[in-house]
């Protein structure tokens, strides 16, 4: 038989056509593919992180603006400002002036510094030229000699805003006797008498860039990068790494690709809407290229090793493959057609037989995996769909917003502000992309949610939340418990004509030598007859599905009695929750 017609030659030909040629194609195409993939992943990650950072910075600036409203809530503070600006102030005796100014300084120190760690200092300039300054380092200080505050941009911007808070770009603290060269960013507001709208003073609060450091410190783009914040005049406010003046100047000129002495960079920037600041991410091209070089090297080594190993094995074992190979092909063809019941029949104990056994094991595992993955995907999709349905619903928001309107109308400003902060915290937690959270964070979210529900139900609702501090950092699917609490409030407490209570606890318990985390959601509401309940609510069904996906060995039990309330108990193995 000619060599060209032998099975071994044909196997060799197939080997070259199916292994060598595709391997060479993969060798050249894989780096190109991964180059695009890595670039796309970096771009997606960069855009996602920058979007989150701009929202975080905007939120912080909103908080700073609200800080400058503080004087309006302190009657003594406003009285002092009005007295200092009045014509009769100059006629007061020294002691009365001292008391008035002391009251102003004390309130300024309390509301601006003690309540906020990120505020370096604050300045009050009254309309008649009185200057008061309190800093963390120097305490109370007076205006430096020759300082003309009216010519300063921060003063002009505050006056021009006419009572609206303005973000002041990076500027020197030249109103201090020490540290005048230090640059800070600030928020300023013109304080006016609420009724007459008379101008009383300009309030300036200087913020520490350590806040920006906290925001940017954990940012990771998977390649060497620098994150910087520029004000609307392109002055650098903060960067998490040192940036050369050359790079800063190129960014100021609007360059997307910048050069430094030893590297080139790609600049991705985004505007921070609240302040018109620019958030810039400076990505190292050399770092990205090194990743691509690594991919190319791995591709070459992997492909070369694969070809050498395959060729060696083919040369050694090809003569032993011909007969059993046909049987294996036959078995694999049947498996390919969907018949997973077929098996390869071994006729010996050599390597080919081991391959046959491996083929049989592969078919068995493939059959098990297909069934497991199929069921898992169905359950996961259903759980995801139900999880979407179980998110905080518009009806809840409608009720809460109506309560906000009521609080505003009755003038309960402090309670309204606290409730808005609770809702903001709740919504921020809800829309975060994380699939898992910790016990402590989930209970903090429940506290905000219950506070908002209590705003609606007032004295008709009490709640109690407790978790063992030892399990504070244990992981749990995000929003796992909220549907249970919502179910307890809506179906257990709301129908009552008396006061009701919802309790949530998480403790460690031991059963049969194993430690479990037991989570209990209990209410003393109207309850229901479990024997008559044929279908679970969407919220409870969603919790049960997500619980099984996250912790397959977990258990969930529901107990209820009409007129006495409902208790839902979840038991999860402690070792499964440890991060």
* Class of domain 1-338 as given by CATH: alpha beta
CATH hierarchy code of domain 390-577: 3.30.565.10
* Percent of the chain scoring above 90 in pLDDT: 12
Burial annotation 439-473 (CB, 10 A radius, 16+ → b, else e): bebbbbbbbbbbbbbbbebeeebebebebeeebee
Q: Which residues of 69-100 are buried (b: 16+ CB within 10 A; e: fewer)?
A: ebbeebeebbebbbbbbeeebeeeeeeeeeeb
- For residue 151, pLDDT over 50 is answered with yes
Cα–Cα distance measured from residue 80 to residue 93, given in angstroms and rounded to the nearest whole number: 15
More confident residue, 367 or 512: 512
CB of 68 within 8 A of CB of 165? yes
Burial 290-318, CB ≥16 within 10 A → b, else e: ebeeebbeebeeebeeebeeeeeeeeeeb
DSSP summary character for residue 35: H
Q: What is the mean pLDDT of residues 134-156?
A: 78
The two three-digit tokens of residue 160, written as one number: 């021009």
**pLDDT (mean) for 167-175:** 79
Q: Report which of residues 248 and 505 the model is more confident about.
A: 505
Q: How many helices (H) and strands (E) does the chain have?
A: 15, 18
Residues of the chain with CATH 3.30.565.10: 390-577
Maximum Cα–Cα distance across the chain: 126
Structure confidence by residue, pLDDT tens digits, 363-404 = 888 878 777 766 666 566 555 545 544 455 566 666 677 777
Q: What does each C-alpha distance from 252 to 136, 224, 246, 247, 515 come to in angstroms?
A: 33, 21, 10, 9, 59
SS3 readout for 43-59: HHHHHHHHHHHHHHHHH
- List pLDDT tens digits, range 418-434: 778 877 877 777 777 77
Q: Name the DSSP class of 288.
A: H
Distance of alpha carbon 15 from alpha carbon 21, whole angstroms: 9
Q: What is the pLDDT of residue 180?
A: 55
Enumerate the CATH 3.30.450.20 domain ranges in the chain, comma separated: 1-338
Strand extents, DSSP E, 58-148: 119-126, 131-135, 139-141
**DSSP for residue 219:** -
Task: Give CA–CA dist 217/577, Å, rounded.
Answer: 28
Q: How many CA atoms lie within 13 A of 113 on its CB side?
A: 18
């Amino acid at each position: 038989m000619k060599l060209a017609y032998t099975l071994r030659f044909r196997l060799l030909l197939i080997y070259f056509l199916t292994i060598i040629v595709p391997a060479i194609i993969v060798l050249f195409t894989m780096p190109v593919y991964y180059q695009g993939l890595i670039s796309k992943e970096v771009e997606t990650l960069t855009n996602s992180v920058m979007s989150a950072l701009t929202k975080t910075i905007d939120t912080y600036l909103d908080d700073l603006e609200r800080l400058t409203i503080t004087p309006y809530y302190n009657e003594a503070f406003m009285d002092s400002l009005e007295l200092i600006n009045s014509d009769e102030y100059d006629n007061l005796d020294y002691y009365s002036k001292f008391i008035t100014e002391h009251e102003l300084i004390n309130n300024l120190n309390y509301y601006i510094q003690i309540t906020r760690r990120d505020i370096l200092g604050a300045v009050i300039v009254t309309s008649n030229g009185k200057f008061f300054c309190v800093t963390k380092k120097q305490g109370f200080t007076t205006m430096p000699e020759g300082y003309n505050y009216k010519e300063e941009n921060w003063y002009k911007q505050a006056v021009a805003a006419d009572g609206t808070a303005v973000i002041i770009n990076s500027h020197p603290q030249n109103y201090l006797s020490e540290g005048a060269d230090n640059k800070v960013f600030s928020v300023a507001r013109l304080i006016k008498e609420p009724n007459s709208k008379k101008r009383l003073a300009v309030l300036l609060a200087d913020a520490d860039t350590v806040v920006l450091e906290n925001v940017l410190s954990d940012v990771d783009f998977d390649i060497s990068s620098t994150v910087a914040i520029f004000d609307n005049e392109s002055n650098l406010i903060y960067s998490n790494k040192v940036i050369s003046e050359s790079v800063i100047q190129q960014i100021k000129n609007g360059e997307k690709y910048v050069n430094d002495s030893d590297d080139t960079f790609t600049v991705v920037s985004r505007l921070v809407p609240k302040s018109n600041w620019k958030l810039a991410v400076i990505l190292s091209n050399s770092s990205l290229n090194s990743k691509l070089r690594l991919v190319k090297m791995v591709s070459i080594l992997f492909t070369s090793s694969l070809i050498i190993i395959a060729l060696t094995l083919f040369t050694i074992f090809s003569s032993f493959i011909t007969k059993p190979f046909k049987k294996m092909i036959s078995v694999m063809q049947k498996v390919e057609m969907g018949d997973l019941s077929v098996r390869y029949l071994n006729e010996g104990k050599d390597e080919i037989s081991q391959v046959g056994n491996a083929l049989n094991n592969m078919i068995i595992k493939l059959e098990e995996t297909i069934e497991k993955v199929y069921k898992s995907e169905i359950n996961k999709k259903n759980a995801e769909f139900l999880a979407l349905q179980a998110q905080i619903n518009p009806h809840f928001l409608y009720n809460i917003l109506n309560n906000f309107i009521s609080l505003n109308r009755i003038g309960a400003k402090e309670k309204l502000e606290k409730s808005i902060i609770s809702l903001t915290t709740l919504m921020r937690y809800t829309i975060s992309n994380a699939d898992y959270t910790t016990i402590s964070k989930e209970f903090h979210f429940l506290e905000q949610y219950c506070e908002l529900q209590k705003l609606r139900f007032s004295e008709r609702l009490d709640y109690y939340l407790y978790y063992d501090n030892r399990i504070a950092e244990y992981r749990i699917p995000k929003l796992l418990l909220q549907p249970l609490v919502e179910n307890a409030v809506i179906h257990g407490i709301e129908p009552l004509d008396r006061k009701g209570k919802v309790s949530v606890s998480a403790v460690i318990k031991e059963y049969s030598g194993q430690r479990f985390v037991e989570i209990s959601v209990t209410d003393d509401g109207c309850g229901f007859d479990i024997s008559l309940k044929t279908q679970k609510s969407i919220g409870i069904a969603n919790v049960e599905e997500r619980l099984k996906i996250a912790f397959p060995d977990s258990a969930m039990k529901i107990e209820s009695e009409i007129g006495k309330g409902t208790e839902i108990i979840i038991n999860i193995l402690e070792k499964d929750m440890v991060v």
